[in-house]
Structure 1
Amino acid sequence: MNRSFVALGAALGMIYVIMGAVSDHVVHAEVDAHLFRIFNIALRFEIGHALGLILIGLTAAHLGRSRLLTIAGWLMFAGTLMFSGSLYLIVLTGHPGLGIITPFGGSALILSWLLFTLAVIKGPAKA
């Protein structure tokens, strides 16, 4: 599972670069300052959680299999898709109703960091 989270984090990092280019070359010229700010919030959250996923994967490689780390990783991935993805879609489609998804993504991200913290405190999995 640790490789999966490192790979997912790396993929989110790649998407971050693509969306950063979209932000600079397309979004900046096409939307107002408020929507541009929303798009850039999505970017900040995406890169931070891409690195978080990589960190979860590396921690899992160090500590061994852990249910808490596995759940934390999947929540972080899903939370990033819901949080950043919904904000990207709001800006790119002009449908603010998609914002109903954003708080679910944020809640998943908070819970993922909590579980990650608990997994590290708990230490290596018992065999």
Structure 2
Amino acid sequence: MNKQIIITAAIYGVLAVITGAFGAHALKSKLEPAQLEVWHTAVQYQFYHVFALLFLSTLNPAGNNLLAWSYYFFALGILLFSGSLYLLACRNLLGLDWLRFLGPVTPLGGLFFILGWLTLGLGAIKKL
């Protein structure tokens, strides 16, 4: 198992639980239903990719560049995809309407997720 990947997954996992609880309790009365759905999507995808990171850690990417790239793509994807959605969901609440510029960041994070899955698959093929 890869310690760095597990630590990254643990940090993102803790943050997913915190943001999920925060959205369900503290933000429920403050955000519109559509904004809460955006928040929920961010939490959901963050959790999906925490599990992907944990699985990746069992493959031991040392010496396999594709698996190493998969780690970076997943970690960056969580930051860009979920991070931008968290900010977009709260931009009115925060009074930061200018945050709408983050809209194009979300699909970029999604692209990193796709690249992470592709490199994970290719890296597993190479490893086996």
Verify same fold: TM over 0.5.
Answer: yes
1:26 aligns with: 26
- Cα pair 2:79 2:109 within 8 Å, conserved: yes
Q: SS where residue 26 of structure 2 aligns?
A: helix
TM-score of the superposed pair, with normalisation by structure 2: 0.89
Q: SS where residue 65 of structure 1 aligns?
A: coil
Q: Deviations over 1:48-69 (max 9, x none)?
A: 00111111111116xx531111
**How far 1:120 sits from its partner (Å)?**
0.6
Q: SS where residue 27 of structure 1 aligns?
A: coil
**How far 1:88 sits from its partner (Å)?**
0.3
1:84 aligns with: 82
Runs of at least 4 residues off by over 4 Å: none
- Cα pair 2:35 2:90 within 8 Å, conserved: no
Q: Given residue 77 of structure 1, which amino acid in structure 2 is its aligned partner?
A: A
Structure 1 Cα separation of the partners of residues 4 and 58 of structure 2: 10
Q: Which moved more, 1:93-102 or 1:2-11?
A: 93-102
1:100 aligns with: 104
Q: Given residue 103 of structure 2, which amino acid in structure 1 is its aligned partner?
A: G
TM-score of the superposed pair, with normalisation by structure 1: 0.90
- Cα pair 2:38 2:89 within 8 Å, conserved: yes
Structure 2 Cα separation of the partners of residues 55 and 10 of structure 1: 12
Q: Deviations over 1:60-79 (max 9, x none)?
A: 16xx5311111110110001
Give the number of equivalent residue pairs.
122
Unaligned runs of 5+ in 2: 93-98
Q: 1:74 aligns with which of 64, 72, 75?
A: 72
1:117 aligns with: 121
Q: Work out the percentage of aligned pairs sharing the same amino acid.
A: 30
Structure 2 Cα separation of the partners of residues 84 and 56 of structure 1: 20
In angstroms, what is the RMSD of aligned CA positions? 1.5
**How far 1:92 sits from its partner (Å)?**
2.0
